[in-house]
Amino acid sequence: MPYLGDEHTVRELRRALSNPNVQADHLRYRNTIHRVIRVMSQGQDVSGLYSEMVKACATVDIVQKKLVYVFLCSYASLNPELSLLVINTLRKDCSDHNPMVRSLALRNMCNLRLPGLSQYVQQPLTVGLKDKAACVRRVAVLGWAKIHSLQPNTEMDVAVVNELYGLLRDPDPVVMVNCLRALEEILQEEGGVAINKPIAHHLLNRLKLCDVWGQSEVLAVLQRYRPRGEDELFDILSLLDPALLSHHAPVMAATLRLFLSLCSTLPAVCMSALERARGPLLAAAGSTSRELRYAALCHIQLLLRSEPGLLGEHYKRFFCGYAEPPYIKQNKMQVLVELVNDDNVAMVLDELRGYCTDVNTETSQTAINAIGSIGRSYTDRCLAILTGLLGLKQEHITSAVLQTLRDLVWVCPQCGDAVCSALEGWEDNLQDSQGRGALLWLLGVYGDRVTGAPYLLEDCIDGVRSEVSAEVKTELLTATLRLFLSRPAETQDMMGRLLVYCIEEEVDMCVRDQALLYYRLLHCGIEEVRQVLQGGRRSDPSLGPLIGRPPEPISQWASIFNTLEPLTLGASTVGNSDPVTPKLSTLTPNTLTSNAEAMTPTPGDPHLPDCSSGALSLSVSPALTPEEFERLWLQLEKGACLEVCVACPVPRCSPEGLQVALQLVNIQTLAFTPPNTHPWRVYLYTHTSHISTKTPHTLILAELLHTGGEGEKEEEEEGEEEGEREEEGEKEGEGEKEGEKEEEEEGEGEKEGEEEGDKEGEEEGDGEREKEKGLLVVMRQHPGDQTALRGFLSVLTTVLHTLSTHTACTYTA
Amino acid sequence: MISQVFILSSKGDHLIYKDFRGEAGKDAVNKFYEMVTALTGGQPPVVMKHKELHFVHIRQGGLYWVATTKADASPFTIIEFLNRLTALVKDYCGCLSEKSVQMNFALIYELLDEVVDFGYIQTTSTDILKNFIQTEAVSSKPFSLFDLSNVGLFGADTQQNKVAPSAAATRPIVSSQGEQGGKNEIFVDVIERMSVVIGANGVLMKADIEGEIRVKCYMPSCSEMRIGLNEEFSIGKSQLSGYGAAVRVDECSFHQAVRLDEFDTYRILKVCPSQGEQTVMQYQLCDDLPTAPPFRLFPSIERDSGGRYRTLFIHVPLSLRQSLFSYSAAINVSITIPVPKGSLRLSQELSSPDQSAELQPKNKAVHWEIPRFPGGAQLSALFKLEVSGLSAASLQEVGPVSLNFELPKYTSTGLQIRFLRLSPIQPGPSQRWVRYVTHSDSYTIRI
């Protein structure tokens, strides 16, 4: 039938519907209507039959009625005039003695969605609210919400609203929940239903009578209620406690969300709620429904952001099943990475090793990436697995391993040796451009230690004409130049060829410009080249990026818990070809918590700004990786930039202490030099947004620099005596850089004095002494927003002041 | 709240479309199908977004069950609702397939109408719904002579009659034939899913059991049912129970309607089952199986020493544990062995003709199917693979072996149902069935 033309079908059906013989035989009539609905649900337009169907509506046969209503509700908006005819039948049905007919008529009356008809509908709805059958009351209550949504701007009758509030005490739980839903919609502009103490307690007491859907809805509405005191709060919590263990995931999730919002000021209670809900969450993560499994896994990832130790012993629950779809496997691996600790690392790596040869290439790449991220803390084991995988000689595995190794040596330079030995005797030819890029990068950086590096590069240079990816070409240029620095004799010739090709024949402008840049750079002399290329390798060798993402406060994600957002978040990261590798905590949770405890006096400190009170709010998510930070930092050099001198001594607390303190105001520390070195630097970032205004979110990157000012010489010597870990070469380099910085600083300082005179006047006025102890704050921002920068600066300085006074106190005590 | 619900066949045909709130147009259906077919294998498809509309979908019975929403709803609620909807459709139509949905579209519209109003879920309990649903289900399975396989020769009662036919529980709960077709039956199924990882050295690395007791009730009126579990059933790790063969689970949760007043002392669950299917109890056991895992596999791999280094011998002796299965058998056993990428041809030696094995080059795996595996038996197979470019590294690509199987009449936790009593005693003839089955969720053996 679907293949016949619409016209033909409609004509045939119309003939059948208006045939008196058919109409007389109710079974035949019903079957014809059946056919109409079937055609309709197949997606054909049968709106032409509207008038025939209106006639069919007047019947005593309930099944036929229901079928006709399905049709009428779908096409009412196309035939508003004819629908008036239906209203009469419906109104008659509303006074039928059978409650089922009454509720059916009432429901479909509102479902016609014709604003013009609302005057006819209101009267039966008012009557329906007082009906003795619960099923009619359910429909009538929601009917008011439907009417409101048709005419959202008209004022709702106060009497109706009051009536609905009254029906919250209806004996039927569904009517009660429907009242909540209707009031939420009708009173949307006033912020939804008003939850006062009697209503809240009434809802809580009736909770057990509702089914799971009602329960989760009531729990969601209760989030708006704020208990008066601790006693009431704990009464509510103990009432809700059994629901945390519900084996219905919707109820459990809604309860947990309510717990988190009620106890946002009581972290200990939140933690124990998370622990209670652990069992049901794990059960949901092992449910037969794979969609539910996925939802649970995404939420578990949220939980782990604040409580990495929560599921440590249950790591086996996240081993992948053989037949699970790739997206679940990948999610489970991301969870596994977070759960690694000394006890289970061997088992987890063994398991992940098995996934590397998965049939699905994305799954195997995720597994390799996961091993790479574990490698940041368990380097040796992971390197052994990764280099072993190269032996498989499978294209996609090799490519993923190379990319992972590149990321790993960037963070852990000590793995260089293992990587070099893996590259020794390399002969594969990779097709994948990302893998080739990674190989070239490694060859460039470790060219001096890999014997065959020039030959490998030569192969690439010979094939550069057929290379399509511009990224590989730029990577090739850089690698060749780097290799030239370490092994000039072998590389010079091919480098010449490459530069000639790139400058004269290359069509991609980026590649050509880079080639030109290198060409001119080579004219300047080998020292310049060295400085540019090898300086870029690591901005400051003494800077070890802080691996380890300290636990986020629960409030960071509580607002998106049990919403669709975690599921779509997962989609964006997993779908990405280059997944953002989650960071691993090398600092054990214990040390972190002890630091946090040590710092707990600070929140109570009056100096500490409350970041939520001002118009400016800071947040650390989305997190930046050290690589991203560096890229942005260099990119924004020319953009919004502000340098300010702050009169504040170097905080004498430990790096971790500083980190935790800054975290309390949502500033993330990314890297810093060891405490007693000079110059002392810290790199920070944060995201800002204004609560009041509509200005977009901005990202602020900042560097704290303490050069030591005039007293530099002495302190420098002191530093030498104290810490001998600074190597000779590094210090020379540092010295040079420092000199530059210092000049800059002086220049800037003067300029600043004029620019920011009004703001920093006092501090600048202090002159010499201030410079001695002052910290230089260099801030870069994207996109530019001066007020946000100022706000950030004031938060930062307050924290620094607090810290120095706080530590001073502890020192004197 | 839910804006629309629709059901699509795997080919994208519209089967059911219902708009609850009039917020989004009908073109959302086509948009959804475009998006879902454009997904690559690795992308999580559960939640998708187009403009303001979120699509949440599940796949069941080869169909897409989709709900759309504009508000930021709870994913757990929507996914559970869709799961519940599929269960309801299964209860009412007998089975889940494109055909049964197509034939019963009027019934499904009616269901949706009663279950959801204005995007809000009203009720999903079969007890309440059965008062409202008027349309009768059209059973998609015609009467077939093959269904009579259980009837013995000349109509005599055979031993097999003691076993419920597997198709018995796949009929609509509301039957039109009245007393004749709708027998007073109740099925209690104990279903366990096993996920096991066995290390290369034969050590059990992970063994999880997820189990549930499912009741499927066809009785129009059943006031109370008492399900007695093993008396030595214990929950949690702390409870040590002497020397007896204790049945232990780590965690256990019950359906809302289950009354547990006799559970602590006598291990009796009291429940008033509503018509249709429901899960009465769920339990989990991690890592501490009371018995050894049912299958053992000791594969050995050799490279051909015949000079050409092209052939790989994989010898897979597979044994099913003897003690428990002398009376029973594993069915539908399928074994997947990943093989090196360059595998070209497979020749095999299997121990009986009803088994089959084939090489699937796309998945880089050998599939070995055994329809029936008697208890205590040991089967073995020898696969000879021709591999192009065979190297030492190719050997690493072999394994881990994964098994799929079904063990009827067996629970790995040892959970048993002692008795099943209905009260008051049903007037007509009623039949009570208790079935046990253990599935392999994921059973992996490393090489």
Q: What is the pLDDT of residues A71-120, one digit of tens each?
A: 888 888 888 888 888 888 888 888 889 898 999 999 988 888 888 888 88
Q: Which residues of A touch B47 (CB under 8 A)?
A: 564, 567-568, 571
Q: What residue in A sits closest to B361 (Cα-Cα)?
A: A359
pLDDT over 90 at A592, yes or no: no
Q: What is the mean pLDDT of residues A14-25?
A: 85
Say which of B118, B122, B199 has its CB closest to residue A145.
B118
Q: What angle do CA A3, A9, A10 make, to 5 degrees?
A: 140
Which residues of chain B are within 8 Å of residue A217 when distances are taken between CB atoms? 120
Instruction: Evaluate if residue B267 carries a pLDDT over 80.
Output: yes
Nearest to B441 among A34, A100, A321 (CB): A321
- Interchain contact A572–B (C-beta under 8 A): no
**B301 pLDDT tier (thresholds 50, 70, 90):** confident
Cβ within 8 Å of residue B321, ≥6 positions away: B291, B292, B293, B294, B295, B296, B375, B376
The pLDDT > 70 percentage for chain B reads: 79
User: For the segment A117-157, what is each residue's pLDDT rounded down to a tens digit?
Assistant: 888 888 899 999 999 999 999 999 999 999 888 888 777 78
For A202, the 3-state DSSP assignment is helix
In chain B, residues 114-173 whose CB comes closer than 8 Å to chain A: 117-118, 120-125, 131-132, 134-135
Nearest CA in chain A to B132: A100
Would you call A384 an interface residue with chain B, using a CB distance cutoff of 8 Å?
A: no
Query: Are B46 and A567 in contact (CB < 8 Å)?
Result: yes
Interface test with B, best of A27, A37, A38, A41 (most B CBs within 10 A): A41
Name the B residues in 183-202 with CB < 8 Å from any A CB: 193, 195, 197, 199
Helix or strand or coil: residue B141? coil
**Residue B20: closest CA among B119, B120, B158:** B119
SS3 A151: coil
Set of chain B residues whose Cβ sits within 8 Å of the Cβ of A335: none
Q: What are A690's two structure tokens?
A: 């204004």
Q: Which residue is closest to A565 within chain B, CA to CA?
A: B72
Please, what is the average pLDDT of chain A? 77
Residue A202 reports pLDDT greater than 50: yes
Confidence of residue B428 (pLDDT cuts 50, 70, 90): low
For the segment A287-314, what is each residue's pLDDT rounded down to a tens digit? 888 899 999 999 999 888 888 888 888 8
Are residues A393 and B251, on separate chains, in Cβ contact within 8 Å? no
Percentage of residues in chain B having pLDDT higher than 90: 12
Helix (H) or strand (E) holding B335, with range, is strand B329-338
Which of A261-275, A752-766, B386-400 comes out lowest in average pLDDT? Answer: A752-766
Whether residues A316 and B287 touch (CB distance < 8 A) is answered with yes
A140 to chain B: which residues are within 8 Å by CB? none
Confidence grade of residue A690 (pLDDT, cut at 50, 70, 90) = low
Which pLDDT score, from 0 to 100, does residue A188 have?
A: 85
Q: Do A249 and B80 touch (CB under 8 A)?
A: yes
Q: How many CB atoms lie within 10 A of CB A184?
A: 18
Q: Is residue B400 reached through a cis peptide bond, with omega within 30 degrees of 0 on the bond before it? A: yes
The closest CB to that of B105, out of A41, A63, A279, belongs to A41
Binning pLDDT at 50, 70 and 90, where does residue A576 land? very low
- Chain B residue with minimal CA distance to A321? B442
- In this complex, the residue of A66, A146, A250 whose CB is nearest that of residue B80 is A250
Chain B: closest CA distance from residue A574 (Å):
7
User: Is A564–B14 a contact, with Cβ atoms under 8 angstroms apart?
Assistant: no
Q: pTM of the full predicted structure?
A: 0.75
- Please tell me the distance from the alpha carbon of residue B56 to that of residue B68, in angstroms, as a whole number: 6
A161, containing H or E segment: helix A158-167
Integer CA distances (angstroms), B349 to B338, B384, B399, B401, in order: 18, 8, 19, 18
Residue A676 has pLDDT above 80, yes or no: no
Q: Is pLDDT larger for residue A581 or for residue B90? A: B90
Q: Please tell me which of the candidates B80, B134, B206 has its beta carbon nearest to residue A319.
A: B206
Residue A175 confidence (pLDDT):
94
Chain B, nearest residue to A245 by Cα: B253
Mean pLDDT of B57-79: 90
Nearest to B423 by CA among B260, B219, B276: B219
Strands (DSSP E) contained in A131-252 are none
**Residue A596: per-residue pLDDT:** 34
**Cα distance between residue A466 and residue A774, in whole Å:** 56
DSSP label of B259: B
The count of other CB atoms within 10 Å of the CB of residue B149 is 10
Q: Do B442 and A570 touch (CB under 8 A)?
A: no
Top pLDDT among A474 and A578 is at A474
Query: What 3-state DSSP class applies to A474?
Result: helix
Q: Assess contact for A256 and A277: CB atoms under 8 A.
A: yes
Mean pLDDT value across residues A234-257:
91
What gap in Å lies between CA B415 and CA B235, rounded to an integer?
12
Per-residue pLDDT, A216: 93
CA-to-CA dists, residue A453 to A383, A484, A675, B375, angstroms: 21, 11, 39, 60
Question: Who contacts A665 (Cβ-Cβ below 8 Å, separation ≥6)?
Answer: A608, A609, A611, A618, A795, A799
pLDDT higher for A808 or A475? A475
Q: Is B334 on the interface with A (CB under 8 A)?
A: no
- Give the pair of three-digit tokens for residue A737: 């850089």
**Strand-pair partners of B334:** B369, B404
Number of residues that make up chain A? 813
Shortest CA gap A742–chain B (Å)? 51
d(CA B351, CA A754): 93
What count of residues does chain B have?
447
CA distance B330 to B379: 12
CB contact under 8 A, A324 and B442: yes
Q: Is B52 on the interface with A (CB under 8 A)?
A: no
Position A177 scores a pLDDT of 94
Q: Mean pLDDT, to the nearest integer, of A458-486? A: 88
Query: Is residue A397 within 8 Å of A356, Cβ to Cβ?
Result: yes
Q: What is the DSSP string of A687-749?
A: EEEESSS-PPPEEEEEEEEE--GGGHHHHHHHHHHH---S-HHHHHHHHHHHHHHHHHHHHHH
Would the pLDDT of A659 be above 90? no
Residue B176, helix vs strand vs coil: coil
Q: Do A316 and B110 touch (CB under 8 A)?
A: no
Q: Which residues contact A694 (CB under 8 A, 6 or more apart)?
A: none
Q: Work out the percent of chain A whose per-residue pLDDT is above 90.
A: 18
Has the ipTM of the complex gone over 0.90?
A: no
Q: Give B227's strand partners.
A: B269, B420
Higher pLDDT among residues A383 and A648, named by residue: A383
Determine the Cα–Cα distance for residues A611 and A667; give it in Å rounded to an integer: 10
Euclidean distance between CA atoms A386 and A371, whole angstroms:
8
The per-residue DSSP string of A254-291 comes to: HHHHHHHHHTTT-HHHHHHHHHHHHHHHHHHHT-S-HH
Place of tokens 């910290």: A775
Tokens of A368: 């390799």
Phi-psi category of residue A18: left, alpha or beta, with phi > 0 → left and psi -120 to 50 → alpha:
alpha
Residue pairs spanning A and B at CB distance below 8 A: 225
Q: How confident is the model at residue A38 (pLDDT cuts 50, 70, 90)?
A: confident
Q: For residues A137 and A172, is the Cβ–Cβ distance under 8 A? A: yes
Residue whose structure tokens are 């130049």: A481
Please tell me if residue A424 touches chain B, with a CB cutoff of 8 Å: no
Report the alpha-carbon distance of residue A127 to residue A160 in Å, rounded.
11
pLDDT of res. A245? 86
Q: Are B74 and A7 in contact (CB under 8 A)?
A: no
Structure tokens at A197: 């103490």
| Range with lowest mean pLDDT among A36-50, A352-366, B116-130 | A36-50
Alpha carbons A653 and A632: distance in angstroms, whole number: 28
Nearest-angstrom CA–CA distance, B112 and B92: 12
d(CA B4, CA B29): 9
- Interior angle at CA A405, CA A401 and CA A407, nearest 5: 120
